[in-house]
A and B are shown apart, each in its own frame.
Chain A
Amino acid sequence: MTDAQRRWLPLPFFATVLVLWEFAVRQSGQLALYPYPSGVLRAAIRTIGDGSLLAATSGSLYRVLLGFSIAGLLGIPLGVLMGSLQPVNRAMSPIIDSLRSIAPIAWIPMALLWLGIRGNAALFIVTYAAFFPFVVNTIQAVRLVDRNLVNAARALGASRALIARTVILPGSLPVILTGARISLAFAWGAIIAAELAMGIKVSAGGSGAVGLGQLMVSTLYIRRDVNALVLYMIVVGIISFMIDLLMRRLQRNLTPWR
């Protein structure tokens, strides 16, 4: 099998699957029960047309970016401290490890209590999820900085601040950016989970901030629109894919020497 064949082979396969799927659902006559391709397409046109999809997605994305930024501002300094000072690392790493094992959305009841339903609870979950990849990767990044370079700079009389800015930062940036990529992916997963759980468990009559997760819940329980559910799933997937792509490109552009 040549490369070109390999690349084009899946296309007819997937096309056949989609056509068969559509046909099977239409044949069964249960159009309200099962999702089908043309129905998903119609749901896409409708929700994009009335703006509800865009509003919900941007609401979720806004909280993801905010939580991601907070997590970075807290996580990178802690990672630098833990990576460069051994006692801090030894004291903190078991605590970080055990907090990391708590699934972020397990905190939802506490977050709801502390911060309320208006989006802040979800923001807490997102920040929590994004925090740990930042810490872990920054520790790793600081450790990977070439000691010889630091020693050389010190021998040449550079101050601590200068070394931090001109040697340690560029040396650790690639791995920190890897951490940022993982963080953003985690944050996106966490916001959907948090919004879903809040939507399902807290029947506040739609008073909460609206995101993609809440939209999914109302589609599931109120409108019972399976095609829209599949569409939202695909949107979640596309955004994860875009996040990964963008972060990889950013990483390449910011650290071209890697």
Chain B
Amino acid sequence: MEHETSSLAMRSRVESVAMRDRGSWTHSLRRGEFVLALAAIVAVWQMVSVSVNNKTLVPPPLLVLDAWIGLWAAELPGDILASLVHLGVGYGLGIAAGLALALLAARFLLFEAIIDPMVEILRPISAIAWIPIAILMFGIGRGVPIFLIFYAAIFPVFINTLAGIKQVDPHLLQAAQMLGASRRMIVTHVVMPAALPLILAGARLSLGVAWMAMVAGELTGADSGLGWRIFWYQEFFAMDKVMAVILTIGILGYILDTLLRWLQARITRWSQDGSEAGR
């Protein structure tokens, strides 16, 4: 038994070494497989659109690509900018509010006793359920998506920050205290760095839900942005443009998530926790 497990462990070590050696060309292989799969999907799409033979119902890939390139010279940059403004304002406010509330909750027990059940009550009510009320409160315009993004972004950051602060090793706090660090210094130099990996993981979760809230808010209650533009084109039955905007939403969402993942890996390079939470 002993022998068997050790030989298994050895074999797995050997395997991992072999994997690492292959690493240089697995990368190009991976890219090749992806291109193949992408080609397959485009081919199926093309086949479906040929067999349906209706440019409105299933716009062929080349038509969508053409529309997409055309849109870059027309409305698309403005729409992306409008969406990013919604996201920037709402997400920024949401992250700031989530952080501030979590810090207050960590500092004052009374505050935590009140805010914690409030969060538990509000959290199941998704941002989307607020859409009608948001339309009533702000009218059709920038207010609706910004509010929805703000609301969606608060919870993951709040919960993760509070959890992150609570799991800080008390020995570290005591050591800092004993060495004469001020309260402020302890917060900035001990608590925040220790909680950072979880906070960043929360920020990434927030971005995901904020992105969905943005699209939903713009679709239903805005007069600008990518989500709004989808229905704008639909009114003209310009389905190639609708598809182009949908794909843009996907690509942008992917880029934003990759950006945050990269940031997370960079800032908390020292932390096992941070790199794990990133997956």
Contacts and interface: CB of A to CB of B under 8 A. Distances in A.
B216 to A, nearest CB: 5
Interface string B216-249: 1001110000110011011000010011011101
A141 to B, nearest CB: 14
Contact of B242 (A10, A13, A109): A109
Given A10-B113, A13-B114, A109-B234, A91 B216 contact: no
Nearest to A101: B253
Contacts of A160: none
B34 interface: yes
B246 A197 contact: no
Given A1-B110, A1-B113, A91-B36, A105 B216 contact: yes
A117 interface: no
Contacts of A92: 37
A108 B231 CA distance: 9
Given A216-B132, A229-B133, A113 B125 contact: no
Interface residues of B, number: 59
Given A196-B128, A233-B129, A101 B109 contact: no
Contacts of B227: 103, 106
Interface string B141-175: 00000000000000000000000000000000000
A112 to B, nearest CB: 8
Contacts of A193: 128, 131, 216, 219-220
Given A10-B117, A101-B253, A110-B239, A95 B133 contact: no
B125 A101 contact: no
B132 A229 contact: yes
Contacts of B110: 1, 9
A220 B133 CA distance: 8
Contact of A189 (B128, B135, B251): B128
A87 B253 contact: no
Interface residues of A, number: 54
A106 B34 contact: no
B211 interface: yes
Nearest to B247: A102
Interface in B48-101: 56-57
B95 to A, nearest CB: 20
A201 B231 contact: yes
Nearest to B252: A101
A236 interface: yes
A147 to B, nearest CB: 8
B132 A102 contact: no
A237 B126 CA distance: 7
A240 B125 CA distance: 7
Given A101-B251, A102-B249, A244 B124 contact: yes
Contacts of A108: 219, 230
Contacts of B216: 103, 105, 193, 196-197
Given A105-B219, A192-B128, A219-B132, 13 more contacts: A10-B113, A10-B118, A90-B30, A92-B37, A97-B254, A101-B211, A101-B250, A101-B257, A110-B246, A192-B126, A201-B231, A233-B130, A241-B124
Q: Which are the 4 A-B pairs with shortest beta-carbon distances?
A: A101-B253, A237-B125, A103-B215, A102-B250
26 contacts: A6-B109, A95-B38, A98-B250, A98-B251, A98-B254, A101-B211, A101-B250, A101-B252, A101-B253, A102-B246, A102-B250, A104-B212, A107-B246, A109-B231, A109-B239, A110-B239, A110-B242, A114-B57, A189-B128, A193-B216, A193-B219, A216-B131, A232-B129, A236-B124, A241-B124, A244-B124
